[in-house]
Amino acid sequence: MKTIYSHVLFIILAILSSLSLNAVMHNSSIENIDSEIFSSLLQSDNNRHYRCKDNFSDYDIQVRGKIKVNDNDTGILSISPGGSLKISKKTFGNKRSVIIESNSLGILNYEYYEGRTKIDYKPEGEKWLADILLDVLRITGIDAEGRVKRFYKQDGVDAVLQEIEMISSNSVRALYFEALLDDYKLNEMEVMAISTGISKLSSNTARGELYSAYSSIFLINTNTSIVFFSNVSKLSSNSERARILVQISEKINFEDGEVIEAYFAVVDRMSSNTERGRVMRNLENTQDLTVSTYTRLLQSVGKLSSNTEMGTTLRSLDKMDLSNPAISEAFFNTVDKMSSNTEMGSTLRHYISEENLSKENYIRMLATIKKMSSNTEMGSVLRSFPKMDLTDSSLVVAYFLAIDGMSSNTEAGSVLETLLKNIK
């Protein structure tokens, strides 16, 4: 029963492959196809099925087990016991096939066909396999780790990257990048070259997965970090950019001004206020932020076009030290950029109630309140002030200048009544 089921499943997959690939791959060349189709469907059985078609040829490749190739990519060295490799290629109506099966001892058996006619594998089948095997390796990713090891030993990272350039499938390219990043202790120049190589992938998802999985390597020092953030900024997907930044668990060197600027350049280039806000709200919870980082973060918040995201992000900064003059000025400059009186008022009231603000903070806040156009919000914020020290002339002047800016006598009177109740 299990054998019948396997045969039926294979037939169904073959039909689906023919239907979907004829639609998707029409007029596409081998060099421009992301070929992997069925690996997820048959993952439990370790079967993988690939179809790649252009105007001249049509490959149908089935892989089972782990396969090793020789050093010149012309022959098979080994297939894990019970595994197999089946390759068919149609060219101008002519079909050739080779079937290589490994028995329980790992001994390989070869069969070669031209059309439906079985022919001795040697010499014609062996020669044909040698001619097409490199194409097959680039379509499927067979023995990616072994080939990376060979290229790296010969000419380093550059040789591996050159081979990756010859591969069209993003998923297969990713296998080569993973082998490089997993198995070798890379120097600074190699890390930066790989980071830039990944940026050339056409899939935002593939790039994002690699950048997220190996961010610890890309952030090893200032130079690699700057290149990493520069390459992340090249992604066209806001969600992928945000996902990469949010998932960074390693400590970013925010002591370095260039790293700070490279990081927030990624944030500023996002077109989604939601994603930008999400990244900045997450940052304080996962990283140790310097004064320079906070001031640059506040500049990025000020560039948001959504008052809601601006307010939500500002109110989330629980660890920010407003007693620092640079941070305080950057914070109020950002609040001043809000066009929503409601969000401005909500943000100012939040900091009045949650923070132990200094006299200097209140004086600067009063300058911001004076710029508000809503008497209701101005009055609400002023009434939320704690008891005022009216012996400080600078504070008194700033306070009454804010009240003088109100056009509503009712709101101004209400604020003054509250002030009288709170006089020390």
Is residue 234 domain-resident?
Answer: no
Place of tokens 């970090």: 225
Per-residue model confidence as pLDDT tens digits over 337-381:
999 999 999 999 999 999 999 999 999 999 999 999 999 999 999
Contacts of 191 (CB under 8 A, 6+ apart): 217, 218, 220, 224
Is residue 193 domain-resident?
Answer: no
Is there a contact between 388 and 422 (Cβ–Cβ < 8 Å)? yes
Q: How many domains does the chain have?
A: 2
pLDDT at site 37: 39
Nearest Cα neighbor of 117 from 92, 86, 91, 96 is 96
Per-residue model confidence as pLDDT tens digits over 224-266:
999 999 999 999 999 999 999 999 999 999 999 999 999 999 9
How is residue 251 annotated by DSSP?
P
Tokens (6 digits) for 297? 């973060």
Measured distance CA(3)–CA(67) in Å, rounded: 24
Boundary-marking domain end, from 140, 157, 175: 140
Measured distance CA(264)–CA(297) in Å, rounded: 7
Q: Measure the CA angle with vertex 312, ends 339 and 290; round to 5°.
A: 105
Measured distance CA(216)–CA(395) in Å, rounded: 49
Q: Round the average pLDDT of the chain to a whole number and report it.
A: 90
pLDDT at site 195: 98
Contacts of 284 (CB under 8 A, 6+ apart): 316, 317, 318, 319, 320
Is residue 106 domain-resident?
Answer: yes
pLDDT at site 11: 41
Ramachandran class of 138: left when φ > 0, alpha when ψ lies in -120 to 50, beta otherwise? alpha
Burial 126-137 (b: 16+ CB within 10 A, else e): bebbeebbebbb
- The residue range of the domain holding 131 is 2-140
Measured distance CA(293)–CA(72) in Å, rounded: 51
Is residue 57 domain-resident?
Answer: yes
Low-confidence stretches of the chain (pLDDT beneath 50):
1-44
Boundary-marking domain end, from 109, 140, 171: 140
Whether the ω angle into residue 123 lies within 30 degrees of 0, i.e. cis, is yes
Is residue 226 domain-resident?
Answer: no
Is residue 10 domain-resident?
Answer: yes
Instruction: Say what the pTM is.
Output: 0.83
pLDDT at site 391: 83
Is residue 24 domain-resident?
Answer: yes
User: Residue 208's beta-bridge partner residues?
Assistant: none
Is residue 285 domain-resident?
Answer: no
Burial 94-113 (b: 16+ CB within 10 A, else e): eebbbbbbbeeeeeeebebb
Nearest Cα neighbor of 34 from 51, 19, 55, 18 is 51
Place of tokens 């132990």: 356
Boundary-marking domain end, from 123, 140, 157: 140
